[in-house]
Structure 1
Amino acid sequence: MALDPTLTSALSSDMPALVDTYRWFHANPELSMQEVNTAARITEILGGYGIETFPCGGTGVVGVLRNGDGPVLAYRADTDGLPIEEATGLPYASTASGTLPDGTPVKVMHGCGHDSHIASALEVAKLMSEHTSLWSGTVVFLFQPGEETSAGAAAMLADGLWEKAPKPVAVYGQHIWAGVAGGIEVSVGTAMAMADSLRVTVRGKQAHGSQPEASIDPIVLGAAMITRLQTVVSREISAREMAVVTIATFHGGLKENIIPESAEFTVNVRTFDQGVRETVLAAIERIIKGEAIAAGAPEPGIEFMYEFPRCYNDPELAEGLVGAFREELGADNIVVRDAVTGSEDFGRFGDEIGVPYVYWFFGAYSADTLASEEPVYGNHSPYFGPDAIEASLDAAVRTGLTALLSHLGK
């Protein structure tokens, strides 16, 4: 379906203010579950549109826009930043700082683009509130904290989200990434992977660096574990299946001549299939414990830090949206793609109450930038800075409106 011209005209008029809103959120990121000022600004803006709001899940914000009889739809935007020091050089670059839960001070950046999610969702809310003659029903806007740690959706649900807000018949959301601005990518069926993050404590025996025979070296043992973990995917998972095992942190010791008592590393796993997930996790545990036994070391600690569920786009809804998006943005700008190995907790909102949902992606960069020989930086990079933000936000708002009005439009 194509949007009513009054909506696209209003969006065009709003674009300078929308870009300013985006830049404010970009310059003022906050860490997961610490989005106090972000939540306050969102609440203030929604209140200015006459939308009722309530806090949920700590720093989450829910806005409920009621407009007569009709279906209830939910639309979600995540709000947290990342512990990254921004290096984009943009005039509105973040200089914000924060503190991780373990007390570590860090710089903070919207390195995953949640600033664009907030801004575009607020504009969708604005246009829906200003053009009530075009639709009928209720929209529940979910501004979710803590997506990066998989804590936010669970916190909102535990806080009674679907007891406090009307239950929707479907949930929608979207995410920016390093594609062409104005372009949309949608998966039908599995859209994003499950993810598991584990912390491994390798326990050994401390000794002087000159007397390694008196030690059980947890650094050497940890290295053996990590090396062996690289065989899980290549030797235990069929080439017809997908799995990723990544070790991205390894810490041990304080001084070069002291073999430490312990070391620590973290593991991140991505899978699409529950059976594959169980196989990978079992292999990880077996290898870690087996290497410790082989080294004569104490039993290692294995702690699950968090997990993300699979994000599964309802096929019927997704196929319907693909057609509607093509009508609104043009067939050449809509791509049906395979699932991505990134992960999201967005699906929890629909899974909790057994309703379908669809999650899609919108691009960040101009076609010229993507065609150039210069590097293009994606999400979670300190250099991630969309250079075609107007076109990017335009597509995000129009697809958000299209998804909602496909149910609610008159």
Structure 2
Amino acid sequence: MRHKLFYTALSFLIVISGKAQLQKLVKQLAYNDSARLVTIFKDLHANPELAFMETRTADIVQKELKALGYETQSGIAKTGVVAVLKNGAGPVVLYRADMDCNAVEEVTPLEYASKKRMKNAAGVEVPVMHACGHDAHITWMLGVAKIMAEMKNHWKGTLIFVAQPAEETGSGAKAMIKDGFYDKGIPVPDYLFGMHTIPLAVGKIDNAVGVRMAGTDQINVTFKGVGGHGASPEFTKDPVVMGSNAVMQYQTIISRNIGAQDVGVLTVGAFQAGNSNNVIPASALLKLNLRWFNEATRNTLINGIKQINKGIAVANNLPEELYPDFDIAATAIPLNNHEVLTTRLNTAFEKVLGKENVLTNRPAFMPSEDFQYFAMAGSKTVYNYTFVGIANKDAVKKANASGKEFPFFNHNGNFEVDLSAIPLGTEIGVTAVMELLKIK
């Protein structure tokens, strides 16, 4: 009741004094909600879920958004959730947050650290952790949704919130769209907005114009051979040796086929073969991921992998039916922030954070995203993806003093979101959405 009385009084003052006090109201509401949001964040962090398995997280999201008066749909691409709030004539804004975690073992000393293990898509039990901040993304979204519902008299239009599965695999957004996302009564947005954690100090954001994240391919290569006794390799065709050869040769694509001033990354993230000391297996699986900014580089990487695979098969005198399998499991194009929209939002962000804390000239990131697939190709939709600092300020200073840019980085077991970033990230999110929907 006290919170509602505060909001009513402050809202009345805004009507009287104009829009100058709007940001003050946003800040007050974000920080007044801090305890609830931190509780949600800690719970999500302690209970991470892998791609397309985010059932618990999805249930929390739907329950929270439905209680706020949003029209919700769930089960899109297995676990995706969407919520819509229509508030008169105006723009359509889609705010997206991702839900899935990483197969990483947490090593932070946090009392709410993840100790969870679960079976991945292949049925293998792995440690799991929110090592990329998706727990913060969902928490921010729920905070933004609450404030926007409470501030309906300050904006007009349609607001859509999406909790997306499987960002880490690069397939969740496309899966939701393929599952009829825009055929379920969900309007195509004018503006698409999202935020991602970055281990900059809390209080800073990175939001530049143009290409901000690389394109990616997730590729599975299976080397096939002839298994046998480890003591008699002459009677086998050893796929472990073939795969090991490939891991080293793949890097020559980067060093000898891509120009020194161009950019590409080829990483072998997993090598899976056999289960016995004295048995040469019949196959070996290599899981690759590529990063690139243009199709020419992508084609060089893909063609190079295929040629190396074939060369290894020929060198091992394999028949064609045992040549390596090559499967592109997922692809995402580079993320490209819209110039006019990004500049507009940065002007609003500067009023919250100060111009010196809105960074607009940092280089693009090699990590990738699939957020941009909610912007329909050839449609009216333009998008912005903002990176929000979540690292403890003292930890950043200590890292900088030792010559490091960050105290930790994403996808590592020591990744840690400072709790002060929870209300601030919420305020930043509301600032962006309100800028696009506010009554002029």
TM-score range, shorter chain: over 0.9
Letter in 1 for 2:358: I
- Tell me whether 1:358 sits opposite 2:378 in the alignment: no
Q: Deviations over 1:65-94 (max 9, x none)?
A: 111111111000001122223221211112
Selected match of 1:211 from 210, 232, 237: 232
Distance 1:238-1:331 versus aligned 2 partners, 3 A rule: same
Distance 1:182-1:318 versus aligned 2 partners, 3 A rule: same
1: distance between equivalents of 2:228 and 2:152?
72
Q: Deviations over 1:220-253 (max 9, x none)?
A: 2222212111100111111221100111211223
The answer on whether the counterparts of 1:49 and 1:126 sit within 8 Å (CA) in structure 2 is yes
Selected match of 2:124 from 94, 104, 123: 104
2: distance between equivalents of 1:83 and 1:252?
19
Report the alpha carbon displacement of residue 276 of structure 1 after superposing the two structures with TM.
Answer: 1.1
User: Percent identity between the aligned chains?
Assistant: 37
Partner of 2:39: 20
Structure 2 residue matching 1:16: 3-state secondary structure: helix
Selected match of 2:336 from 305, 308, 312: 312
Letter in 2 for 1:301: D
Unaligned runs of 5+ in 1: none
Letter in 1 for 2:247: I
- Tell me whether 1:296 sits opposite 2:317 in the alignment: yes
Report the alpha carbon displacement of residue 53 of structure 1 after superposing the two structures with TM.
Answer: 0.8
The answer on whether the counterparts of 1:362 and 1:395 sit within 8 Å (CA) in structure 2 is no
The answer on whether the counterparts of 1:181 and 1:389 sit within 8 Å (CA) in structure 2 is no
2: distance between equivalents of 1:139 and 1:333?
28
- Tell me whether 1:395 sits opposite 2:416 in the alignment: no
Q: Deviations over 1:18-73 (max 9, x none)?
A: 11111111112111111111111111111221111111222111111111111111
Structure 2 residue matching 1:361: 3-state secondary structure: strand
Q: Deviations over 1:336-364 (max 9, x none)?
A: 12210001110100144631111111111
Letter in 2 for 1:394: P
Partner of 1:382: 413
Partner of 1:286: 307
Superposition CA RMSD, Å:
1.8
Report the alpha carbon displacement of residue 176 of structure 1 after superposing the two structures with TM.
Answer: 0.6
- Tell me whether 1:68 sits opposite 2:99 in the alignment: no
1: distance between equivalents of 2:269 and 2:128?
19
Report the alpha carbon displacement of residue 122 of structure 1 after superposing the two structures with TM.
Answer: 0.6
Report the alpha carbon displacement of residue 409 of structure 1 after superposing the two structures with TM.
Answer: 0.7
Structure 1 residue matching 2:298: 3-state secondary structure: helix
Deviates more, 1:168-177 or 1:253-262: 253-262
Structure 2 residue matching 1:304: 3-state secondary structure: strand
2: distance between equivalents of 1:83 and 1:406?
37
Selected match of 1:238 from 240, 252, 259: 259
Letter in 2 for 1:117: H
- When the two structures are superposed, what TM-score results if normalisation uses the length of structure 2? 0.89
The answer on whether the counterparts of 1:87 and 1:383 sit within 8 Å (CA) in structure 2 is yes
1: distance between equivalents of 2:428 and 2:377?
25
1: distance between equivalents of 2:180 and 2:234?
57
The answer on whether the counterparts of 1:79 and 1:118 sit within 8 Å (CA) in structure 2 is yes
Report the alpha carbon displacement of residue 399 of structure 1 after superposing the two structures with TM.
Answer: 2.2
1: distance between equivalents of 2:275 and 2:143?
50
Partner of 1:266: 287
Letter in 2 for 1:5: K
Distance 1:159-1:217 versus aligned 2 partners, 3 A rule: closer
Report the alpha carbon displacement of residue 7 of structure 1 after superposing the two structures with TM.
Answer: 1.5
Structure 1 residue matching 2:387: 3-state secondary structure: strand
1: distance between equivalents of 2:42 and 2:83?
22
Letter in 2 for 1:323: T
1: distance between equivalents of 2:246 and 2:212?
31
The answer on whether the counterparts of 1:150 and 1:344 sit within 8 Å (CA) in structure 2 is yes
- Tell me whether 1:52 sits opposite 2:71 in the alignment: yes
Report the alpha carbon displacement of residue 134 of structure 1 after superposing the two structures with TM.
Answer: 1.1
The answer on whether the counterparts of 1:36 and 1:59 sit within 8 Å (CA) in structure 2 is yes
Q: Deviations over 1:268-311 (max 9, x none)?
A: 11001112111211111111111211221231111112122221
- When the two structures are superposed, what TM-score results if normalisation uses the length of structure 1? 0.95
The answer on whether the counterparts of 2:23 and 2:431 sit within 8 Å (CA) in structure 1 is no
Report the alpha carbon displacement of residue 216 of structure 1 after superposing the two structures with TM.
Answer: 1.9
Distance 1:258-1:12 versus aligned 2 partners, 3 A rule: closer
- Tell me whether 1:37 sits opposite 2:56 in the alignment: yes
Distance 1:257-1:105 versus aligned 2 partners, 3 A rule: closer
- Tell me whether 1:174 sits opposite 2:195 in the alignment: yes
2: distance between equivalents of 1:303 and 1:7?
48
The answer on whether the counterparts of 1:201 and 1:300 sit within 8 Å (CA) in structure 2 is yes
2: distance between equivalents of 1:318 and 1:224?
45
Selected match of 2:246 from 225, 237, 242: 225
Report the alpha carbon displacement of residue 207 of structure 1 after superposing the two structures with TM.
Answer: 3.2
Report the alpha carbon displacement of residue 137 of structure 1 after superposing the two structures with TM.
Answer: 0.8
Report the alpha carbon displacement of residue 258 of structure 1 after superposing the two structures with TM.
Answer: 2.8
Letter in 1 for 2:419: I
Q: Deviations over 1:180-205 (max 9, x none)?
A: 11110013111111111111111122
